[in-house]
Amino acid sequence: MSDDQTLALSGRQPATLFVISAPSLSRGALTRLEAAARAATPGPVRLIRLEGTEPSLVDALDAMRAEGHRRIRVQPFGVPFPEGLLTWLPGVMADWRTRGDNADTTLEMGPDPATDAGSLAAQATAALSRRARSVEATSPRLGKPGWADPPDFEFHLLVCTGPRCAVHGAASFTHLLKEELKEAGVFDRCLTTRTGCIYPCNRGPILALYPHGHWYRLPDRAAVRRFVADVLMAGGTADDLRFHTARAARTTPSQAPETTP
Binding site for ligand FES (CB under 6 A): 160, 162-165, 197-201, 204
Question: How far is Cα 177 from Cα 173, in angstroms, rounded to an integer?
Answer: 6
Of 158 and 191, nearer to ligand FES (C-beta) is 158
Of 165 and 238, nearer to ligand FES (C-beta) is 165
Find, among 116, 115, 97, the residue nearest to 106 by Cα: 97
Least Å from the CB of residue 164 to ligand FES: 4
Burial class (CB in 10 A: 0-12, 13-18, 19+), 198: middle
Question: How far is Cα 61 from Cα 38, in angstroms, rounded to an integer?
Answer: 17
Q: What is the separation of C-alpha 19 from the centre of its chain, rounded to a whole number of angstroms? A: 11
Of 65 and 194, nearer to ligand FES (C-beta) is 194
Least Å from the CB of residue 100 to ligand FES: 24
Residue 18 corresponds to which amino acid? F
H/E element holding 36?
helix 27-40
At a CB cut-off of 8 Å and minimum separation 6, what does 218 contact?
A: 173, 177, 205, 206, 207, 224, 227, 241
Least Å from the CB of residue 178 to ligand FES: 18
In the sheet with 45-49, reading across from the earlier edge strand, the strands are 45-49, 15-20, 71-76, 106-109
Of 86 and 201, nearer to ligand FES (C-beta) is 201
Of 65 and 164, nearer to ligand FES (C-beta) is 164
Least Å from the CB of residue 5 to ligand FES: 38
Task: Kindly provide the b/e burial profile for residues 55-72, where b requires at least 16 CB atoms within 10 angstroms of the residue's own CB.
Answer: bbbbbbbbebbeeebeeb
Of 45 and 165, nearer to ligand FES (C-beta) is 165
User: Nearest to ligand FES by Cβ — which residue?
Assistant: 162
Least Å from the CB of residue 198 to ligand FES: 5
Of 200 and 213, nearer to ligand FES (C-beta) is 200
Question: How far is Cα 44 from Cα 14, in angstroms, rounded to an integer?
Answer: 8
Least Å from the CB of residue 170 to ligand FES: 7
Least Å from the CB of residue 179 to ligand FES: 21
The radius of gyration of the chain's CA atoms, rounded to the nearest angstrom, is 23
